[in-house]
Amino acid sequence: MSLTKAYATTSATTPLAPFTFTRRDPGAAEIEIQIEYCGVCHTDLHQARNDWQGTVYPCVPGHEIVGRVTKAGAGVKKFKEGDLAAVGCMVDSCRTCESCQEGLEQFCEQGPTFTYNSEDKKHGGITYGGYAEAIVLDEAFALRVPTSLNLAATAPLLCAGITTYSPLRHWKVGPGQKVGVIGLGGLGHMAVKLAHAFGARVVLFTTSPGKSADAIRLGASEVVVSKNEAEMQKHVNSFDFILDTVSAPHDINAYLALLKRDGTLTLVGVPEQPLPVQPFNLIFKRRQFAGSLIGGIAETQEMLNFCAEHNITSDIELIPIQKINEAFDRLLKSDVKYRFVIDMKSLG
């Protein structure tokens, strides 16, 4: 057992502040990772402020983790001390249900053990995440980090990257397809990069005309300002696939109408209120309105390898941990291009 420095919040209304807790020593199949970088996901903000009504305090957020293995249990085969390693949104699952057996641990029928604010079914207590010096987990849920990637900019791939990669792979996005991405935030900018790397023609939808130059730089062929009805009308019945990354309220029907017959719109953003769907928008063109979570461990590793092959990382702003509350405030205003990453060495 070792004392671990971290940043935590103790209630929905208090800022994150220094916090110390005890991490267990690694078991036979477990590794300890000294955390070098941790991305800041919008989920961290929601959980810290109890927006989803399920936060257990104190809460140590963080599930976009990159670091080095400092200890390895006697039975560990995949890693050795000194290796780069990464952790995403999960640290365990039941491993026996149909979803787990198919490598879809994110859909574990018992519920996966998430990296933070999750009941630890094996060791007891609540999991603490990556806004900390170190993390201990089973090697089966740790990822290998390709050495060619910038480590700080790799951290957001563990959530924003896999959240957008998984639906693009599942719905077989590829060359010759027209793919829309709604929103150019932490998720959206990764979706544009990845869809472009898959060979699709990418169109970005945004309410902010000022984001056009960035969208083109990231891989979009065209930018549509969604408030402009004439621009939207030009694209009716033309998309094979649309990925919706927006968590704010918006008119989903305006985008469903842009799908061609048998096209799919997949939601990865999480609006707080339900999105009303006009049934005729689905029925008349046999369109599909779907959702997607993260990916399983094997697919997350595949995503990291794909990003290394195509030299894809997140566009980041590196911050010390002492600026995390300021980063949360800026995140609420979408004032970041496009992902904050904490340099965990700043913990001291």
DSSP 192-219: HHHHHHTT-EEEEEES-GGGHHHHHHHT
Nearest to 327 by CA among 5, 3, 15: 15
Which pLDDT does position 31 carry in this prediction? 98
pTM for this structure? 0.96
Residue type, 66: V
Specify burial of residue 48 (Cβ count, 10 A radius: 0-12, 13-18, 19+).
Answer: buried
The SS3 of residue 254 is helix
Which pLDDT does position 147 carry in this prediction? 93
Which pLDDT does position 152 carry in this prediction? 98
The C-alpha angle 92, 98, 100, rounded to 5 degrees, equals 20
Which pLDDT does position 4 carry in this prediction? 96
DSSP state of 294: -
For residues 47 and 128, what is the distance between their CA atoms, to the nearest angstrom?
A: 12
Note down pLDDT in tens along the chain; length 348 residues. Answer: 789 999 999 999 999 999 999 999 999 999 999 999 999 999 999 999 998 899 999 999 999 999 999 999 999 999 999 999 999 999 999 999 999 999 999 999 999 999 999 999 999 999 999 999 999 999 999 999 999 999 999 999 999 999 999 999 999 999 999 999 999 999 999 999 999 999 999 999 999 888 999 999 999 999 999 999 999 999 999 999 999 999 889 999 999 999 999 999 999 998 888 999 999 999 999 999 999 999 999 999 999 999 999 999 999 999 999 999 999 999 988 899 999 999 999 998
For residues 94 and 132, what is the distance between their CA atoms, to the nearest angstrom?
A: 26
> Domains of the chain (ranges plus CATH)?
2-159+315-347 (3.90.180.10), 161-291 (3.40.50.720)
Which residues face 341 on adjacent strands? 39, 318
